[in-house]
Structure 1
Amino acid sequence: MRRVLFAERISADKGERSESIESQHDKLSQRAQAEGVIVVGVAQDLSVSGDVDPFTRKALGPWLTEEGRTKWDEIWVTTQDRLSRDDEHTHDFLKQVVRQWGKRVVILDNPNLDFLTPEGRAIAYVQSIGPARELARIKARTKDSHERRRFTTRWPGGIPPFGYVPVSRFVEGKTATYLEQDPDMIKVLRFMREQILDGQSFFAVAKALNEKGEHTARDRARIRRGKPVHRRGAEEGVPEQWSETTVKSLLRDPALLGHKKHKGEVLYDSQGQPVMVAEPIFTDDEWQSLQAAVEARVQTKVRRVNGTSPLYGVVYCGECGSKAAHKGSIRSNGVEYRYYVCGSWPKESRCQGVSVRAGEVEEFIELQFLQRYGLEPVTERTWVPGTDNTRELEEVRKRIDRLRRDSVAGLWDDAQEEFRSLMHSLMARRDELAAEPVTQGRWDERETGETFQQLWGRLDLEGQRLQLIKSGYKVLLGRKTFTITPEPETWPERKARLIRLGHLTDTDTVSSEPGE
């Protein structure tokens, strides 16, 4: 009994006029019933372009493996282009399947074509040229369509940047897709910005987003399509997780300014301006301050770890320089003992015995901080934006160079007026950008109206830890001892500080630190 495999395919090329999968299956089934063959399987490839090699197709490919081809004797298709629209793929497929494997290929609209004969193979090759040319025309039309839309405000498709959702609008008699801001995602982005400006790490922001159950851009796109969330490597319904990398990449992405991108790069118009595909989420000032904070976080070597140590990033091993670990234990009498120890021990055997009671370190460093800074006014950083058009200027110069090369190649011979107008506008923009001064953005300090002693009292442990790091404090552990930097102030230094703050005058007769 003849064992038959149905090969059905519908193309992903929007311009291709092809029969439906249902129609293909009905025709193949009717023929199989008439001839009384056994149908061993149906290789149904949905939305697969005609230029995809049959051996790599998701449904058909497994049937063409060494194991798969033992299960059938004949492959049936309704028309030859259901195998492939690429003439070379068609030729290679027939050579492999018919001549080398000794299988039979049946095409319903030409059932008498014998691929074992030179004439049959020649006819098949000639018949494959027409679909190949049609496929080339489809690709050209699709490419031209994409090129025309590339520099417009329309969204070309795919997963939108985080913060935006696709919407359909009826414009100039046609329905097109555009991007609009999503209020829920805007709140998430503003939360992320505030966290980074406040000194949190990318890891901490990602952890907070995961704990809040905020979906990623991909998961949100799946939900809009009515599909379940899905993390790669997990079952459906398990959401994707935010990571350091995704947070950092998102907060650096110029798509948040509404800029349109192609192959990862921002598109610029003939005037050298970014092509806008949506309203920006952040203002220029907000964006510049965010980028400065992101860059500062990228350059820091201290990785933030939540929920581990009250002084993580402050206490280090004095022997090997590793960050200290916070250890705790409860004795039989119910008393809890906490210690800071070398985080690399026992890997670093020389650090055995480097341990200090946590309470002693925490109390001492708090005392030293408040003695030094308690009466100092608290300041907050305010971003003063700069101006730097270097990148845009470079892009404009590249466009001028490309335009000149195209002119030399004769691509503008029949559009000289348009060429001159475009060149004039680009050169004017280049001169305008080159004349603008470059000033670096900077942070200014502004007093908040409270002292560090007042601030310290309302901070939680995490806030106090971050404040110590900002103030440059560092503790080095020894064997039941520790040293701290900056070193405690001498009385003359403290007196000078109090005089500067107005709490003492030069005429005060205090000669030593009170309490000594």
Structure 2
Amino acid sequence: MKARIKDKAGPLTAVTHWREADLSLLEELGEKSGSLPDDAPRALLSIRLSTFTAETTSPARQELDLRVLALERGYRVVGIASDLNVSATKVPPWKRRELGTWLNERAPDFDVLLFWKLDRFVRRLTDLNVMIGWCLKHRKNLVSRHEAIDLATPTGIAMIEVIAKVAEIEATGNGTRVASLWDYTKTQSDWLVGKPPYGYTIDPSGKLAIDQGAHRVLRWCHGAALRGVSARRMTMVLTRARIPTGGGGTWTASTLLHRLRNPALLGLRVTEDKTSGARRSKIVHGRDGNPIRVAEGIFTESEWQALQAALASRSKTQPARAPGGATRFLGILVCADCATNMTVHRSKGRQRTYEYLRCRNCPSGGLGAPNPEIVYRRLFDQAMAALGGEPVRVREYMTGADRRERRKVLEDGIAAYLAELEPSGRFSSNAFAREQAEKRLERLIAQLNELGPEGAEDRWIQVGSGETFGRRWERGGPEEMADDLRRAGLVCRIHRSKIPKTRAPEVRLELTVPKNVAELLVIKGNSFERT
């Protein structure tokens, strides 16, 4: 049976399957939980599974066990973060879809994080250390259903580190065994594991055999490439003929080129070439120094070399990938006609190489916008004019105790400045000193107002950094500006108009700024950065 559970905070769990006995227990726990006081510690339940396995580790069983634990300790359940089909080794808690949202955006809404078992929470010691540091900084507790883990005691912290190390050793052992298996299969002529390359299939004996349907496609593409047909044109023909791709999805030029450039079509074992900087495969050689043959080749060596030469003659050299990407302001610059991203392309002429911005859906990329650097500078100037004067604000987490301490410090500072600004104070006799003191007093009052009303609850606050975004962008450059503009949801539409008897079009930029841009520009620090 399916159920969606509600607490005082509203709907909490995703739809899942429940047995009648589980639903009865769930209803009973809900009634008892309703009698807890409103000021009871607030608990967030963390549920995770890599795959649906035994009944004892099912999401329903984990939730019931955690609700029982919460009731025993007097915790009021305020939310459930359910992340299913998620690997704890690959995805840390703060990057999971549901749990990550609670940790990064809703930290003030809970006091205790409950999980069923440590390996359901983390499997890496480094991830655990980050979570412990985060919990101590934000004054949260970690509690496990099946281990003696409680951050409120030194023994609990020691226990959680020991158990996490065992879980990490287990995960490392699994990874080592898998890596060893792959390394072994690369040296064998038989196909032992993995998906065969396009053009081949696995016969009943476990060896690679040529897939006749894919063989006809590859041979046709070979002949078309030698005749000068582009990969884009080939994919159009294959799509119209309803030829299956062999892996789902639709035919694309990049996928076809990757398959035609794969040395596996010679019947040889290949592996990923991680040194080329592009998506390429390289031939694996055996201990005797010769390539390892795993099947009959679809192409001969001479056919293969002729095909590579034909593909290379039509290839276009695109801009080298820079650390920030080949195109600056990617995701901000969009075509005004088709609303797709503008990206940098390079065209080689007789005398020089031209760079221009083009879109994806307009025919032939629309009227290309030449000189991308000029477009970047114009966008930089428009963004500076629109938002350069906005003050930089940073979101910080403030616990109730921290707020009380911070409020007292600010109030004492304000009182001290007010006393010194009196006629008998030390700032009254000098005009410059009085002006500077009044400015510092205004900053203290502004910081006090940012703390919000008095209270013991945790909350996010916004703290001014003392500089404007214009100063920040002058210091950090276009890359810093691009990150801020993307976060704030700004869009710059590029209009291109044809000018009679002129090759280059007229380019006009239209910058759209969201109404709530001030809130979107607030910088949210990463509380989970490893140091």
Normalized against structure 2, the TM-score is what?
A: 0.45
Normalized against structure 1, the TM-score is what?
A: 0.46
- Kindly name which structure, 1 or 2, has the bigger radius of gyration based on alpha carbons: 1
